[in-house]
Amino acid sequence: MTAPFDTNSPDLVSWVESANAPETPFPIQNLPYGRFRRDASDPWSIGVAIGDQVLDVGGAGLFHSSEMGQWLTLGRAQRQAQRRAISVALQHGNEDRARFAPWLVPMSAVELGLPCDVRNYSDFFIGIHHAYNTGRLYRPDTPLLPNYRWVPIGYHGRASSIQVSGRDFVRPKGQVKPAGEEAPSMRSSDRLDFELEMGIVIGRGNAQGDAIPIDEAEDHIAGLTLLNDWSARDLQAWEAQPLGPFLAKSFVTTLSPWIVTLEALAPFRKPFIRSPDEPQPLPYLEAQTSRELGAIDATLEVWLQTPQMRAQGQSGECIVRTGLAQAAYWTVAQLVTHHTINGCNLMPGDLLGTGTLSGDGLGQAACLLEITQGGRQPLRLSNGEERLFLHDDDTVTLRGYCERPGHRRIGFGDCTATVRKAKPSRP
């Protein structure tokens, strides 16, 4: 389990002036990792975000490789040592500033890619309020199935359609069978939805057949990202039984470009408390360290910008504000351990989604399916527009940040994409 150390000190300031601005998501206390390139013909390089700049850590001599896969396999001690070296290089007063300055490039001048090559993707269902609220739409008498409180529910998703923040996607098509119709038909989705999630990026993997013990699980986590698991609810309603999501989820998943490390998140850990009247985890999912610091206190938001807002110069409206610690029924360590308990081998760069992270209060429902009660009650926006589900050219942006008195606020960067009109069918 990580704990705060010197690189998290709120007293640290950087000679990169934009990193000292109170509103930046990337102060020197954060230092998230991602990949960038200056030109489309260039290979990807490992970058660290600092203010509005990207530091080329390989070029600056702060890592021996430009391959993100090499960084992902670092052990915790190596990862912490590198973080300290980068922090020292960027701290105000560093006499070697001239050595590192040439390896900074404005974030606006580079292309940001997926933070790593995602080989495998699994999506969990740890948001208990989301599970209850959506379950109530279909099973009013038993919103939560009996296994929910005992086992971290998940399914294996599609890695090939994961794309980085900033890329648009077209509205998906599939089989739909509306109520009252005798047979399904092929059409574009009319019930397109977002899902506010976080992504857990795996660092070091495990050998097939060897489970990762709960007290070692966080050694295998490189960090966290924002994740939008776009969902076509009309496709999902028809196809999901009995094997779960398929085309309703596989058309696109959007990921933020930065991996915020567990070291950066250390000041924002808190106890993970399971109510005494709830079933307690089975022994393989139980650890004292998880109880003491298993939760991560991150505030998460969804912003919606409609075409009308865009035409009027409005940046969008926050329609959801929730929190990871309040929503999650399982810890990130428990997800890693459970994923491997049957001998499944995780690999560097594998991605685990948390599932939709809805809170239990007003404005905390983290998808339109919940907000609109299954498409029955429209979401009313401040400009008078309404939404049951997403329209063409709507832009959805996820944002997240951690803050605590006595510490610098850090952020995850934007996770954004715009829905485009479905492609015409071929004759």
Catalytic residue annotation:
130
Spatial CB neighbours of 155, under 8 Å, sequence gap ≥ 6: 122, 123, 244, 245
CB of 226 closer than 8 Å to CB of 256: yes
Length of the chain: 427
What is the Cα–Cα distance from 88 to 74, expressed in whole angstroms? 20
Q: Which of 2, 3, 7, 26 shows the shortest CA–CA distance to 81?
A: 7
Cβ contact 41:26 at 8 Å: no
Q: What is the CA radius of gyration of the chain?
A: 21
> Is there a contact between 101 and 377 (Cβ–Cβ < 8 Å)?
no
Question: Is the preceding omega at residue 242 within 30 degrees of 0, hence cis?
Answer: yes
Handedness of CA 380, 383, 385, 391 (dihedral sign): negative
SS3 at position 309: helix
| Residue 250 to residue 296: CA distance in whole angstroms | 28
| Interatomic CA distance for residues 260 and 406, integer angstroms | 20
Distance of CA 3 to the CA centre of its chain: 22
Q: What is the DSSP letter of 384?
A: S
Give 214-264 as a DSSP string: GGGGGGGEEEEEEEE--EEHHHHHHH-TTT--SHHHHT-EEE-S-BB-HHH
Residue 364 vs residues 124, 161, 379: alpha-carbon distances, Å = 19, 28, 13
Cα gap 192→235, rounded to integer Å: 9
As a whole number of angstroms, the distance between CA 353 and CA 254 comes to: 11
Which residues on adjacent β-strands are paired with residue 417? 396
Triad 65, 215, 271: Cα angle to 5°: 105
CA 410 → CA 51, 61, 323, distances in Å?
11, 25, 15
